[in-house]
Structures are given as C-alpha cells and as structure tokens.
Amino acid sequence: MRRSRTGEAVAVALLTLALAVLFVSCRAAPLAPPDAAVRIGDRIVKYGDFEQYLDRSVGLETVLGSEVLSGLLDQFVDELLLSEVAVREGVGSDSTGWEKAQALVEGRTGRVSKEDVRAFYNAHRDDFVRPERVRLRQILAAERTVIDEIARRLRQGASFEGLMAEKGSEVSGRDDELSREDVPGAFADIIFGLAPGELSQVVSVEYGFHLFQVLERLPAERVDLDRATAEIVDRLSRDREDQALNELVAEARDRYNVVIYERNLPFNYRGLYGTKKNQSADE
C-alpha cells in the first residue's frame, strides 16, 4: 500500500526535526579533542600543558597515584582560573598564575594595625608562653675519629667556625633554640643536663656520631607584646592572604565553567571538578 502524502509529509517533518535537534546538540556539546584535559569557559587546555606543570612542580620522573595527580590537576586548574581573573582585571600580564594571584591578593588585604596585634595577643596569650629552652650547638660526623678530634679541640679552646671550615664535608654543625619537647627522648636528659658552655660525651647513633654543646640556658617565660609583635603581624598577614586567595578561587570557580575531560586522562580523576554541579565530566 502506498504511503499517503500526509504520512510522507509527517515523516519528512519528523526527520527534519530530528536532524535539527542533533545539529544543535552537536554545536552545544562538541566532542573534546583527544589531547584535551580541561575546558575553562571556551578555552581548551591540553594534557601536555598539565605535564609541563607537573614537570615544574614534582618532575615527570616521579611516580604518582591517581589521588595525588587529581589534587595537582585541581591546583593547575585553580592557577588557570586565577590567571583568567587577573587578565580580566588587568593585573600581572607577564607573570605566572600564582604571581598574578599574589598581585590580586595584595589588593584585598589591609595592613595589620597595632589594634589588630594587641587584640590577637590578648586573645592568644597562652601561645606566647615559652618553656625552658637551651641554645644548643649540634655537631654530627660519620666517623668516630673525626668527632673525637673535634671534641678534643673544642675543649682546648678551638673555634667552632674554624673547625667546621677545616673539616668541610666530613662534619656538619648548626645552632638551634630548643625546648625539652623539641628534643628526641634519647637526647633530652643528656642535653638538659649540660651547663652553659659544656660539651656532651660523643653519642653514637645509627647514622653517625653526635656531639652537643649548650651555649645558653633560657628560663620559661611569657613573651611580651613588643617582642611578639613581629610574629603576630606575620601570622595575621598570612591568614589574610590565605583567606583572600581562597575567596578569589571560589569566585573564579563560580564565574568560569570548568570541564575535566576525564576520558582523556591517563589516570582516574578524583578531584574537585569531577563532581561540580552541571559539569559534564565525560563530554
């Protein structure tokens, strides 16, 4: 039986509509290039760009699992987002993503005032209580004969700096300010039993031979506001910078649609952007 003209017209109309829908769908969601890793807005970022980031960050020879790679890809995307924000605001056109971010952050963080410092100190007084401490000189050598010679010559009045220069790579030494809690238990009684200027006996450990010298004993105390000011300013400045940076990243994530082309990645992506609302992860 022949199809009626009306039936043919309906069939043609339906076919035309189906083709139109398919065309619009293809335009709305184009297939990702095989080397694409990320799309930020209309910008396609290739996996090779992420590999360069990995090379700068940890080295390509480092073997990393999917979870670590996912975290690094998230950091890479965050840096790209911050670059987009910086370009939009005309900041740091010749610098890297994090340098641009730093320039953006500086415009969002105010100067730490004396009132800010005093308020923080009053609210965190216990943070500025210092236990009994020692200024300690630690000397380490791989050979017993070397450490014995250094101990003998120090007791005879030789210069520590001179001995370090003379022995070179045979020995290492440094000065620290440490409380009993900072010192491994095996060494604490030895170190805190020394008088100022006194050298310990040679202590054998599996990686060499230790020699300790207490330079000064410091009593327990509460650091006053004047001496704590520099530490507080540094802490408050870093806290404000971290907060401003987090806010910038959050704003950029909301502004730019990020798509991770998970099927193009040589690892199982488990990062933040894989579960982002309205994202087509396998587009």
Q: Which residue has the tokens 């000397």?
A: 139
The 10s digit of each residue's pLDDT in 41-52 is: 889 999 999 999
Average pLDDT on 207-235 reads: 94
Provide the β-strand partners of residue 40: 43, 258
The 10s digit of each residue's pLDDT in 182-200 is: 988 888 999 999 999 999 9
Which one of 219, 234, 266 terminates a domain? 219
Is the pLDDT at 76 greater than 90? The verdict is yes
Higher-scoring residue by pLDDT: 228, 100: 228
Average pLDDT on 59-85 reads: 89
Give the per-residue pLDDT at 283.
47
What's the CATH number where 192 sits? 3.10.50.40
Which stretch of 25-29, 39-43, 116-120, 231-235 has the lowest confidence by average pLDDT? 25-29
The 10s digit of each residue's pLDDT in 238-277 is: 898 888 888 888 888 888 899 999 999 999 999 999 755 4
Residue 22 belongs to what H/E stretch?
helix 5-28
Residue 26 lies in a domain: no
- Distance in angstroms (rounded) separating the CA atoms of residues 50 and 55: 9
Range of the domain at 157: 132-219
Kindly report the average pLDDT of the chain as a whole number: 84
Residue 158 lies in a domain: yes
Shared domain check, 248 and 209? no
Residue 232 lies in a domain: no
Domain count, the chain: 2
DSSP string computed for 224-277 = -HHHHHHHHHHHHHHHHHHHHHHHHHHHHHHHS-EEE-GGGSSS---SGGGG-T
Residue 123 lies in a domain: no
- Distance in angstroms (rounded) separating the CA atoms of residues 62 and 74: 18
Report helix angle 160-167 to 144-155, nearest 10: 150
Residue 2 lies in a domain: no
Dihedral angle at the C-alpha atoms of 189, 190, 192, 196, nearest 10 degrees? 170
Burial class (CB in 10 A: 0-12, 13-18, 19+), 30: exposed
Shared domain check, 91 and 40? yes
Give the per-residue pLDDT at 177.
92
239: amino acid identity, one letter: D
The 10s digit of each residue's pLDDT in 150-168 is: 999 999 999 999 999 999 9
Give the per-residue pLDDT at 66.
93
Residue 280 lies in a domain: no
- Distance in angstroms (rounded) separating the CA atoms of residues 69 and 73: 6
Report the predicted TM-score, pTM, of the whole model to 2 decimal places.
Answer: 0.57
User: How many C-beta atoms lie closer than 10 Å to residue 85's C-beta?
Assistant: 19
Shared domain check, 250 and 204? no
Average pLDDT on 94-122 reads: 79
Give the per-residue pLDDT at 100.
66
